[in-house]
Amino acid sequence: MDLPELMQTFRIDEMVITKGNRGGFVRSLTGEEASYSVNPVDSIHNTVGAGDVFFASYLIHRLYRGEDMVISCGKASQLAARQIEGRYIRPETLKLTAS
């Protein structure tokens, strides 16, 4: 089954599709789509966890803060790049405070 059919069948509101170092996109059940590209990094320290960081950041910005898909993708991509550079997430970054 293709992506729209999968989303409709299982009532998936939004699907995040990653293409690794080529970025990716988010598609909503209504067909809205937001592409994102990777942010450049000065050096690659470690790519482990970058996808998890992207997804967690996307969820925080999109669901918790109510930002749109494009903004949420951009902020998530920036944070994933920081993770790849080895500038690890500090605990205060993870605090869910209202903005």
**Domains observed in the chain:** 3-94 (3.40.1190.20)
pLDDT digits (tens, 9 = 90+) for 30-42: 999 999 999 999 9
pLDDT of residue 47: 87
Q: Is the pTM of this model over 0.85?
A: no
pLDDT digits (tens, 9 = 90+) for 40-98: 999 998 888 888 999 999 999 999 999 999 999 999 999 999 999 988 776 676 676 66
User: What's the CA gap between 21 and 30, in Å, rounded?
Assistant: 27
**What percent of the chain is helix, strand and coil (3-state, nearest 5)?**
45, 15, 40
